[in-house]
Structure 1
Amino acid sequence: MALTPDDVVTKQFQHVRFKEGFDPDEVDDFLDEIVVEWRKSIAEADELRAKLAAYESGAEAPSAPVAVIEQAPAAPVAEVIEVGQGSTAPAAASAGIIELAQRLHDEHVAEGIAQRDKLIADAQAQAATIVSDAETKGREEIARLDKERSILENRITELRNFERDYRAQLRGYIEGKLRDLETTGTTSGSTPVSAIGL
């Protein structure tokens, strides 16, 4: 099936996600320019066919042939199309437009792949940096906690030793006082309670 200007006008493109694309209005304007030029070339080809048919039938002398139709100035590639080969000019124009569209498509796909690969590489580098930073901070935190644990264990040991020594001293003191009390009690066992002041 041949591509017509109406096919270009009614063509709907899929919206892409996660990557940049062309401005849809700019693409529509460019396609409108292509359609206008395409319709001109089809009209001129039809006119030339009619003149050729009239000339072949001998009804009319040929006028000056239309030699060149230039593509719209907004087109990225300025191509010159020879008209006068009958129905091959619209087909050549169609083939040129399709080739241009395919080339643009391939360029955009390649650009998208390159951008995707760059984003993936950047994300992987960023992830590696984040993991490395987290591991470094984790090691530093573990070292700090180990040092703090060691300090606390030393402090606990000191407190246990202090408690043990304090208990021993307290026991010695209490036992000494009990001995003193017993000694005092045996020597003053005949002293009445009222004389002691109790």
Structure 2
Amino acid sequence: AAPALTGPQDAESATSMLALAQRVHDEYVRDGEEQSAKIIAEANAERESIIADAQKQKDSLLNQLEQERELLENKINGLRTFESEYRSNLRSHLESLLNEVGNGEN
């Protein structure tokens, strides 16, 4: 067993041992807090980078989709014009045929 602390020298030794333990503890806590702050800062920077990349990708994709939508709208309008002209031409042709049939019977 360790000898019991008895004199002022032993009390002084215990006090300096406690002070040393407190300093070591404080250093570990400070190092841990610094490391924690560093990790958090790095994570925040990475988060911001990921968000910026995602925003760029979103903007690019939306721009591409908008261009595709405009292209499809133009194609649809072209098809509607074609349909209208085709119907008009077909109607004129059928009316012409009906007139020929009607004129042929008289």
TM superposition score category, shorter chain reference: over 0.9
What does residue 52 of structure 2 align with? 132
Q: Which residue in 1 is equivalent to 2:16?
A: 96
Amino acid at match of 1:177: L
Q: CA RMSD in A?
A: 1.4
2:30 match? 110
2: distance between equivalents of 1:121 and 1:141? 30
Between Structure 1 and Structure 2, which shows a larger proportion of helix residues? 2
Counterpart among 66, 81, 90 of residue 146 in structure 1: 66
Indicate whether 1:164 and 2:84 are aligned: yes
The corresponding residue for 2:105 is 185
**Cα distance between partner residues in 2 of 1:149 and 1:162:** 20
Aligned AA (2:14): S
Aligned to 1:123: 43
Q: Which has the larger radius of gyration?
A: 1
**Identical aligned pairs, as a percentage?**
34
Unaligned runs of 5+ in 2: none
Which amino acid in the other structure matches residue 119 of structure 1?
Answer: I
TM-score computed with the length of structure 1 as normaliser? 0.51
The answer to whether residue 106 in structure 2 is matched with residue 176 in structure 1 is: no
State the 4+ residue runs in structure 1 displaced beyond 6 angstroms: none
> Unpaired runs of 5+ in structure 1?
1-35, 47-86, 187-198
SS of residue matched to 1:153 = helix
Paired residues, number: 106
SS of equivalent to 1:107: helix
How many Å apart are 1:106 and its aligned residue?
0.6
TM-score (norm 2): 0.93
* Greater length-normalized contact order (CA 8 Å, ≥ 6 residues apart): 1
Q: Shift of the alpha carbon at 1:124?
A: 0.7
Measured after TM superposition, the shift of residue 96 of structure 1 is 1.7
Q: Distance in 1 between matches of 2:98 and 2:38?
A: 88
